[in-house]
Structure 1
Amino acid sequence: MRDAYVIGAGGSQYGAFPTESYRSMFRTAFESTTASVDNGIDAGDIDEAFIGMISIGGRQLGLSGPAVTEHVGLHGVPTTRLENACAASGYAVRQAVQAVRSGMADVVLAGGVEMMTDLSSDTTRYWFGVSGETEWERMAGTTFSGVYAQIASAHMAEYGTEREQLSKIAVKSHANGALNPDAHLGFECSLEQAEGAGVVADPLTLYHCCPTSDGAAAVLVASEDVVEQYTDTPVRIAGVGAASDGVGLFQRDSYTSLPATKQAAETAYEMAGVGPEDVDFAEVHDCFSIAEILAYEDLGFCEPGEGGQLIEDGVTTLEGDLPVNTSGGLKSKGHPIGATGAGQVYEAFKQLRGDAGDRQVEGAQVGLTHNVGGSGGAAVVHVLEGPEVDA
């Protein structure tokens, strides 16, 4: 099968934008993406599109994909909307890779968008909840913060993980987000602020939880047959892995690991011919700080139970051996559900081309993105290689 490359990626700012719509937000991301293609690209070059979107609040539940692609001028381009909770646009990127590798398309747009801040807290909580297990979790009153609080409590009980370690992840995420002009919460926080913030769901404080965000992101994926028409510095998507699992926590054998992440990572590593030790940086799904610790362990960056020590030792800071969430992650950059996975690939694209500015990981050649749906019902992992590796 043919290799697939990212030739362009872009996004909007993440935050609260009461004067924008999901169409206008996606236009911003799309124009940012096409502008990043070195040699330019025409709308007529795009063969297919995959759009991740939950449609928070019921927006255009049917045909929301064509609604945004037609709005940006992709007239007649076959468009599919993907809904896989918070992993929607991560799966959209995966579908784009599949379309290119299979030979059905040469250039594919993958992206996502979500508008989340113009609804009441009760309505937003409802739409968040539909991504969890409905009968035995959501209808019983459990929120996602409650679900991840259970995960955190279990991890603490089994491995001795400390709440202060969760707070150190928050401090790291905000330090990185403060360097990202697109971040929703682009400010630094202290360890004392993270520890002393109000409790959302014990043991998680406000600073252990991602914000509710508006935003959009997009990626252009091209085949090896046409990539040289668009850029001399493409980013190769070397490995892709995805997996699903029981949607509810009670359906799993353990609360301290996400099996879907482990399976997706194994597949992606095998396809790319690399291991976790080869990864130079990663964008992981840190909807809550405990989720980042689970990601360290499930992606193979450390042994089970050692994730807390990884942040204690500074390994995952911007100056560490394995920077994680250089963008600020979901915690600081924000989490517009449908856009998150594509936004992670956007950050990886910038890092691998040396375009990440003050948060650039020097010499980065292999990056990983990790996007989770719900509390682990779905996961998708991409391994990306920079132009020098591909050469």
Structure 2
Amino acid sequence: MRKVAVIGVGQTRFSGAQGKSLSELFAEAAFEALADAHIESKSVQALFVGNALGDFAEGQGMTPAFIADYIGAWNVPANRYDGACASASVAIRDAFLLVAAGVYDIVIAGGVERAASLGTPLATRTFAMFSDSRYEFPAGMTFPGVFALLAHRYAAVYGLPIEKLKEQMAQVSVQSYNHGMFNPKAHLKKSVTIPDVLKSFTVATPIQLHDCCPFSDGAAAVVVASEEAAKTLSPRPVFIAGAGQASSGPLASQGAYLPRLKARELSARQAYAMAGITPADIDVCELHDCFSIAGIIAAEGLGFFEQGKAGEAWLKGEADIGGKVAINPSGGLKSKGHPIGATGAAQVYEVVRQLRGEVEPERQVPEARIGMTDTLGGDGGTMVSLIFKRGW
């Protein structure tokens, strides 16, 4: 396999409902990524786009073909990826593998979604399609319910009083809000305290409003290139050092392992092995905190903290900049936002810029050299782990 680098990244602002189409949103992110890579659209040999809900948001299928036309990458292979919230990460992983295999030299990959434009009722219903539609959804299993169940399971397995777990979950959100305040592309910008979280209304006990990420519109894109191409185009390439992906069936079939998500642990293990590193080597991680309990479970599944101990680590500052590992300095899904098809690419956007030292000083991780992304699709159905290293 050839070495593969990310040489350009771009992201739109994440927000509530926007007036732009899916193609327009992705084009905005793509043109930023192309400019960052110092290449023109005609250099792109393939286009891979993560998108889960375009059919519902616009009544538009086959979006990547139209996006390719919008950005001037005419007649290239243009594929759509659907891994729910992990859609863009799946697209980037495939771009990495195909460039590594020598099929292409330069690919643009990422994702786009107009989740906020759907409105809350339809967005909630369509998100729920990524749990099991035959048995789970008819039983009322929307995603707040899924993660509320995981929170109760977590408390029971690790012997935590639910009020203590709620405090730990609140700190996850507080930290994300604190970083999102300084991210110009973040959806939510507000200062929130633990009491604010605990006083917010209950969505699905024990999850409260400030434990939940928002529905967002937005897009993000990355330019993936072979090492040889990167040498001529980028003075500061960030190499994709490891990649992993795994899947699971419905939540019920995962019961014996819960609250741990086995697909995540398998995916992370693949990525660590490919990169030749351990969790202790990660300086910065953008992980999937769609709900605060999801962040806690992810940090443990990735090997950063012992099982049952991540929430306490957040309270001690060990998951923050300057701690054991800097988690979600972008603000995470909680504050940055969650346009599901774009989320994984936005995580890569943040990690690449962190390794380059390009983010706002209030949230820059000092001397970051190795970064990781963790993206969850559905209720553990799709998991993707990507590891990045500075190339200079």
What TM-score do you get using the length of structure 2 for normalisation? 0.96
Give the conservation status (yes or no) of the 8 Å contact 1:183–1:333: yes
Q: Deviations over 1:108-153 (max 9, x none)?
A: 1111000022223221111101111111111222210000000001
Give the % identical residues: 39
In 2, distance between residues paired with 1:225 and 1:305?
A: 44
Q: Which structure 1 residue ranges, 4+ long, deviate > 6 Å from structure 2?
A: none
Distance in 1 (alpha carbons) for counterparts of 2:374 and 2:131: 19
Which deviates further from its counterpart, 193-202 or 60-69?
A: 60-69
Match of 2:388 among 366, 384, 388: 384
Q: Which amino acid aligns with 1:28?
A: E
The aligned counterpart of 1:48 is: 46
Gaps of 5+ in 1: none
- Counterpart residue number, 2:2: 2
CA pair 104-373 structure 1, distance change in 2 beyond 3 A:
same
Cross-structure match for 1:100: 99
Partners of 1:248 and 1:165 in 2: how far apart? 24
CA contact (8 A) 1:48 1:107 kept: yes
CA distance in 2, matches of 1:44, 1:60: 29
* SS of equivalent to 1:229: helix
Distance 2:43 2:236 in 1: 19
* 8 Å CA contact retained: 1:213, 1:336: yes
Contact in 1 for aligned 2:47/2:107 (Cα 8 Å): yes
Name whichever of 126-135 and 325-334 sits farther off.
126-135
1:128 aligns with 2:131: no
Paired residue secondary structure (1:226): helix
Name the residue aligned to 1:223. 226
Match of 2:32 in 1: 32
| Distance in 1 between residues matched to 2:119 and 2:341, nearest whole Å | 19
Question: What amino acid is the match of 2:3?
Answer: D
1:206 and 2:209 correspond: yes
Quick one: distance in 1 between partners of 2:73 and 2:51?
A: 18
Which amino acid is 2:100 matched to? Answer: R
Equivalent residue number for residue 340 of structure 2: 337
Task: Indicate the residue corresponding to 2:159 in structure 1.
Answer: 160
d(CA) in 2 for partners of 1:137 and 1:159? 25
Q: 2:352 aligns with which of 349, 352, 360?
A: 349
Tell me the residue number matched to 1:264: 267
Structure 1 residues 247, 69: closer, same or farther in 2, change over 3 A? Answer: farther
* Cα distance, 1:387 vs structure 2: 2.6
Mapped to 2, the partners of 1:233 and 1:60 lie a distance apart of: 40
Question: Counterparts of 1:125 and 1:118 in 2: how far apart (Å)?
Answer: 12
**Any idea what SS the aligned residue of 1:218 has?**
strand
1:199-246 alpha-carbon deviations (Å, 9 max, x no partner): 000000001010000000000000012111211110000000110011
CA contact (8 A) 2:110 2:220 kept: yes
Matches within 5 A, 1:229-248: 229-248=232-251
Listed as ranges, the matches of 1:165-204 within 5 Å are 165-204=168-207
The 1-side partners of 2:307 and 2:369 are apart by 26
* TM-score where L is the length of structure 1: 0.96
Kept in 2: contact 1:245–1:377 (CA 8 A): yes
Confirm or deny: 8 A CA contact 1:26 1:113 kept in the other structure.
yes
Q: Which moved more, 1:60-69 or 1:110-119?
A: 60-69
1:167 shift after superposition: 0.1
Worse-matched range after superposition: 129-138 or 284-293: 129-138
Unaligned runs of 5+ in 2: none
Alignment map for 1:323-334 (pairs within 5 Å):
323-334=326-337
**What's the counterpart of residue 307 of structure 2?**
304
d(CA) in 2 for partners of 1:64, 1:290: 33
Distance change >3 Å, CA 69–CA 55, structure 1 → 2 = farther
Tell me how far 1:58 sits from its aligned partner. Answer: 5.0
Q: Distance in 2 between matches of 1:10 and 1:18?
A: 18
Code of the residue aligned with 1:335 in structure 2: it is: H
Within 2, Cα distance between the matches of 1:195 and 1:53? 34
How far residue 23 of structure 1 moved from its aligned partner, in angstroms, is: 1.5
